[in-house]
Amino acid sequence: MSSRATQLAAKAFTRRTLLKGAAAAGTLAAAGPFIARAASGELKVFAWSGYISPEMLADFEKKTGIKPSLTEYATNDELLNQLRASGGAGFDIIMPTVDRVPNYVEYELVQPLDESKVKFDGCIDSAVKGSAGMGGVVAGKRYLAPSDWGTEAIAYDGSAANLKYGEASYGDLWKPEYKGRVTVRGHSSLIGIALWLESQGKLPHPVREQFTEEKKARANFDAIIKVASENKASVGQFWSNENEAQGAFRTNGCVIGQTWDSSAASLGKEKLPVKFLAPKEGALAWMEGFCVTKGAKNLAQAYEWINWYYTPEAGAMYSNHTSINTTSKGAEAHLSDFNKAFFAAAYPGDALDKLWWWPIQEAWYVSIRNEYQDRFLAA
């Protein structure tokens, strides 16, 4: 798919389209009841750290008779490197972000899904359609079954910062009053700076164009890294996973940062005064899903996992555990009051219409991105 088509697909995909898709198909009745079949064997799941709860594993085993084992990773790069080292073997199901799926296809680490075996009627329609243009379908073959979507935006301690929707900006992180008390992730904070600079007309090329051409990527990153390096002293802690992002607020003195929604939600569940808000430039939005590895030994069980997840109850277990939006139809009826309130506060007004969906990140771009990230970390 062309980069232009990819951009249009991403721009058109918002939580509202997800909810409209769910409403059009109905809620609980849309997916139909999950029918446990006589099954056996095991399933090896490789998923993001903190995403799959013991409750989910137990429910899957109870419903299917399949014994799941879980291994966790902290970053997309960790997942990719692990699979490349094993040639796509060792696990049955993995959970990459949709924009990175073409990387796994390029290295022949995943296999196309047999769509006849996936109960996509249990997944919100717009997630299935939208994921195709974001990397879930490569060369006409679907490799990803969408599982969830979430954002990276501004987390802040409400007792130390007062942010308002429509005014809050990625640029707020670099205000003098927060010097030494900011937490960010290396590579994604550079995109936050890019969007801030773009809004001021200070970036050589539109942000999305840097994902399509190396010359434009380097020109933009040269401008971005200058600002990032000048503000390096503001960073109290860099994070690369959930535990580090939460620890920055919990124990390391940070009061504002660019984090995942789930990081802020976890701190809120601990009754800490940490809030989460989409900035005026748009929250960075991503989608994740399930892929079947090339070397999967438990293929039938892998499809059982996907179909179990596409039930209202399983999807709600996932969202209530992570505070990340599930793609399972009907799950909203089972969400906790905390999560309902968290989502409403994080995305007020037109925030959902301004979500900034990550474009496909091809291997050449990831290499350049990591190069500039390392320069920021070493500045």
Q: What is the pLDDT of residue 126?
A: 83
pLDDT value at residue 17: 54
Q: Is residue 217 classed as helix, strand or coil in its secondary structure? A: helix
- Same structural domain, 300 and 275: no
pLDDT on residue 161: 94
What does the pLDDT read at residue 16?
A: 53
φ/ψ (deg, to 5) at 67: -90, 110
pLDDT for the residue numbered 14: 54
pTM: 0.80
pLDDT, position 40: 76
For residues 259 and 370, state if they share a domain: yes
Same domain, 135 and 185: no
Q: Which domain holds residue 130?
A: 3-149+286-354
Coil, strand or helix: which one is 96?
Answer: coil
d(CA 28, CA 206) in angstroms, rounded, equals 42
Please tell me the predicted confidence (pLDDT) of residue 9: 47
Residue 185: Cβ-neighbour burial (10 angstroms; 0-12, 13-18, 19+): buried
d(CA 350, CA 60): 37
Same domain, 126 and 186: no
Q: Do 115 and 63 share a structural domain?
A: yes
pLDDT at residue 307, rounded to an integer: 98
Specify the pLDDT at position 379.
Answer: 94
pLDDT, residue 55, reads: 97
- Looking at the structure, tell me whether residues 126 and 270 fall in a common domain: no
In this structure, the answer to whether residues 266 and 339 fall within a common structural domain is: no
Q: Measured between alpha carbons, how far is 70 from 92 in angstroms, rounded to an integer?
A: 11
Q: How far is CA 273 from CA 50, 156, 268, in A?
A: 21, 8, 7
pLDDT along the chain (379 residues), means of 10: 43 52 41 49 96 97 97 94 94 96 96 98 92 95 96 97 96 98 98 98 98 98 98 98 96 97 94 97 96 97 98 96 93 91 92 90 94 97
Secondary structure class of 367 (helix, strand, coil): helix
Radius of gyration of the chain (CA): 20
In sequence order, which residues have a C-beta less than 8 Å from that of residue 107 and are 6 or more positions away?
A: 80, 83, 84, 88
CATH number at residue 162: 3.40.190.10
Per-residue model confidence (pLDDT) at position 352: 85
In this predicted structure, what is the pLDDT of residue 21? Answer: 45
Cβ density class 79-113: b for 16+ within 10 Å, e for less: bbebbeeeebebbbbbbbbbbbbbbbbeeebbbeb
For residue 306, the one-letter residue type is I
- Quote the number of domains for the chain: 2
Is residue 238 located within the same domain as residue 267? yes
> Closest Cα to residue 348, out of 276, 285, 264?
276
CB 232 within 8 A of CB 376: yes
Q: Are 18 and 126 contained in the same domain?
A: yes
Instruction: Give which of 372, 376, 307, 369 is closest to 76, Cα–Cα.
Output: 369
Indicate if 13 and 115 belong to the same structural domain: yes
Q: Are residues 369 and 238 in the same domain?
A: yes
The residues, ordered by sequence, that sit 6+ positions from 163 with a Cβ below 8 Å of its Cβ are 154, 156, 172, 275, 277
Residues 334 and 230 in one domain: no
Q: Evaluate whether 94 touches 290 at the Cβ level (below 8 Å).
A: yes
